[in-house]
Amino acid sequence: MTLSLPPLADRRMVLATDLDGTFLGGTDDDRDQLYDWLRASRDTVGLVFVTGRDPQFIAELCGDGRVPWPEYVIGDVGTTIAEVRDSAIHPIEPLEKEISQAWGDLGHRVRDTLKDRSGLSLQQTEFRYRLSYDMDPDALDPQAKHEVEAMGADVLISDNRFFDVLPRGVSKGPSLIRLIAHLGLSPNSVLAAGDTLNDLSMLVAGTPAVAVGGSEEPLLDQLPQRPTIYRAEAIGAAGIVEAISAFDLHPDHLDA
């Protein structure tokens, strides 16, 4: 990544995007078109990944050169807030302090409570401030969510197959707002993009936002009707392009 780029606050717009189904969604041509435009416009367009994926996944994803590196990462469903420097992802300690404090010893307690619970299989990735389970909705014990919430954590179910346990009040939206304030960005210049229910909090955070084509129905059902929230027809990366044009966020936007 070029080291002489202006700070994000000085750029025309910032794309804050989910990965799976959104930035990584659509056809190869759609993705290449968006990625090439981002590289060519990097002095005026910033890039932030807002994802459930962890930093290691992002480093591997961007390491081969096809997917452009972001300047910042909100990962692990909002529990990681980090800066990208020299192709490495560095947590921003002041922004993560409240997240760490809110998590405390919840990980150990939740893990013990949900051990061998029907419908849930713990993912083995060692997240710092979250637990994630693969979920079988037909076998899920309905008490599991209530028990975790009673312990002081939040449960986020997305794509009807993921059961995430997060520190109370922490998710993609609040972490995005925290990063926007930290960087001195104008919320009106930030386009949030997503496609599943775990993107809801950032799509309603007050910035221009897009639910790309192919978004899951539970997300679309809960999205309010606002001028700042756009429902794209095009899938994945092409839906992002469609929204940039619809909001007129950049004078050199691509044709949708």
Q: Which CATH class is domain 103-167?
A: alpha beta
The pLDDT value recorded for residue 126 is 82
- Sorting pLDDT into bands at 50, 70 and 90, what band is 252? confident
Note the pLDDT tens digit of each residue in 60-96: 999 999 999 999 999 999 999 999 999 899 999 999 9
Looking at the predicted structure, is the pLDDT value of residue 24 above 80? yes
Residues comprising the chain, all counted: 256
Measure the CA–CA gap between 155 and 208, rounded to whole angstroms.
Answer: 26
Looking at the predicted structure, is the pLDDT value of residue 2 above 60? no
DSSP string, 167-188: ETT-SHHHHHHHHHHHHT--GG
Sign of the Cα torsion 31, 205, 48, 162 reads: negative
pTM of the model: 0.93
Looking at the predicted structure, is the pLDDT value of residue 3 above 70? no
Averaged pLDDT of the chain: 94
97 C-beta neighbours (distance < 10 Å), count: 10
If 0-12 CB within 10 Å is exposed, 13-18 middle and 19+ buried, where does residue 1 land? Answer: middle
Intervals of CATH 3.90.1070.10 along the chain = 103-167
Looking at the predicted structure, is the pLDDT value of residue 97 above 70? yes
Measure the CA–CA gap between 90 and 73, rounded to whole angstroms.
Answer: 9
Q: Which of 3, 14, 41 is nearest to 179 (CA)?
A: 14
Looking at the predicted structure, is the pLDDT value of residue 12 above 90? yes
Percentage of residues in the chain having pLDDT higher than 90: 91
Q: Determine the topology of domain 8-98+170-247 in CATH.
A: Rossmann fold (3.40.50)
Looking at the predicted structure, is the pLDDT value of residue 236 above 60? yes
Intervals of CATH 3.40.50.1000 along the chain = 8-98+170-247
77 and 57 Cβ atoms separated by less than 8 Å:
no
